[in-house]
Structure 1
Amino acid sequence: MNRTIILFLLLSTKFAGAQNIDADLMRIKNRMDSVKQFSAVVTLDLDVPFINMPTKKAQLYYTQGKPMKFSSNDFILLPKRGLDFSLSEIFKHPFLTVERGLEKRNGQTLKVINIIPTDGKSDLVLVTLYMDTKASRIVESEINTRKDGSYTLLMQYATLSNVLPDYVEAAFAIEKLKIPLNFMGKDTKIDRKKMRGMETKTGKIKMRFTDYKISKG
């Protein structure tokens, strides 16, 4: 992320007097905080040109305030950032928000905000959130980090009332994400010649969540 752009965002926010955290973001955070525990079955597909990985399944466990846990019989790879439904990474360190107006995505009118960390301890550099303010949830996010490069998350929900997504698609640059290819299971085939020949190594992780068991209150 260009430092000049970030500096401009910081200055524009300061002069606009928008030092408070966005109220819609806080409503979404409070709604997520109502989920104290949940478990689900996640079905994972990897869309990378040089990797042929069969569909995988894992059991996912979440307890508020603790790292996500999962178990699987044949692989140990899950994208931890793509599973941060609670927004805990954003709220771990101080930040400010900048409202960027409304934008239409797939027939939805979404509110767009930038999140800019103000603490150097944060691994996040700049986050752009696309929020469904009527349903109080995140639909899309673009995340720039110091260590893991940039990636985007698309989230779909089965019903208007669902707090947690039923489908999440994470798009990323593989060399930045540092995926441990040997952890994808013995039945995964990697075309290393094709991998070395690609100038830009990008891919997607597609996750479907079923059998949710949610504990609130």
Structure 2
Amino acid sequence: MKKLLVIIAITTGLAVTAQTAEEDVLQVKARLDSIESFSATIKLHADISFIQMPDKVAAAIFTKGKPIVVTSEDFTLIPKRGLDLSFRELFEHPFIVVDRGEVSNKTDLRAVSILPTSDKADFSVATLHLDTKNTRIDWAEINTKKDGTYALQLVYPDSKAILPTNLTISFEIEKIRIPLNFAGKDVKVDLKKMREEDQKKGRIILDLEYSSIGIE
């Protein structure tokens, strides 16, 4: 009888602590919603096969409920969608959550898909790897309706941080409409190589240094 009681107690405890994928998503959303503002200096490195560009510096200012503002004294190549660190576009319209299970060999990461149920959403599906231990997003791939697909790999300075200090944005080049005529003298574009590539993809690697972060 004692053994039976122990087994029942352990099983009940597991049932209480286990969370659904939707609950995990809502916890991450609540934490992201707590970000009221931030200001950051961004160091940018472009990894694009047919574009040679020296590393750049920009400034970013985010205020909750408004688009992020990025400024620089020089030409910078930043897909602004990838800088929405609040992931507002994923959650501003009704959605459903599909559980994809644990990410291989990473027990603290849970894969989920976010499917919008409203035509007002700007994306068709988003796949997230949630860090369930630290309640934040580790990786995301977002399929937009107009700007192609882009992926984000987020690296945080410590276990408590909600904003990353390193961000790698992978995206489809032709979807971001680069204004090459205004790229500047220090930017070189190999037009021949650009035309020859069937799939024009690139990466932007950002290092962010925050001067202020507002959390409600």
Deviation of 1:180 after TM superposition, in Å, equals: 2.7
Does the CA-based 8 Å contact 1:170-1:205 persist in structure 2? yes
Q: Distance in 2 between matches of 1:180 and 1:172?
A: 16
> Whole-Å Cα distance in 2 between the matches of residues 109 and 186 of structure 1?
46
> Aligned letter for 2:52?
N
CA distance in 2, matches of 1:32, 1:118: 21
Say yes or no: does 1:154 pair with 2:153.
yes
- Give the match for residue 144 of structure 2: 145
Contact 1:76 1:183 in 2 (8 A): no
Q: How many residues align?
A: 197
- What is the correspondence of 1:77-92 to structure 2 with a 5 Å cutoff? 77-92=77-92
Structure 1 Cα separation of the partners of residues 109 and 60 of structure 2? 29
RMSD (Å), alpha carbons:
1.8
Cα distance in structure 2, aligned partners of 1:117 and 1:31: 20
| Higher deviation after alignment, 201-210 or 176-185 | 176-185
Report the CA distance shift for 1:163/1:184 in structure 2 as closer, same or farther (over 3 A).
farther
Aligned counterpart, 2:32 = 32
1:133 to 2:132 alignment? yes
In 1: Cα distance, 2:116 partner to 2:207 partner = 30
TM-score by length of 1: 0.85
- The amino acid of 1:149's aligned partner reads G
Measured after TM superposition, the shift of residue 114 of structure 1 is 0.6
Partner of 1:58: 58
User: Aligned partners of 1:58, 1:196: CA distance in 2, in Å?
Assistant: 29
Who is 1:165 aligned against? Answer: 164
Give the secondary structure class of the aligned counterpart of 1:22.
helix
1:165-204 to 2 correspondence within 5 Å?
165-204=164-203
SS at 2:65 equivalent? coil
Q: Which residue of 1 aligns with 2:75?
A: 75
What amino acid is aligned across from residue 91 of structure 2 in structure 1? F
| Unpaired stretches in structure 2, ≥5 consecutive residues | 1-19
My pick for the range that moved more, 21-30 or 129-138, is 21-30
So what's the TM-score if we normalise by structure 2? 0.85
Task: Classify the secondary structure of the residue corresponding to 1:122.
Answer: coil
Alignment-derived partner of residue 13 in structure 2: none
Whether the aligned pair in 2 keeps the contact of 1:77 and 1:183 (CA below 8 Å) is no
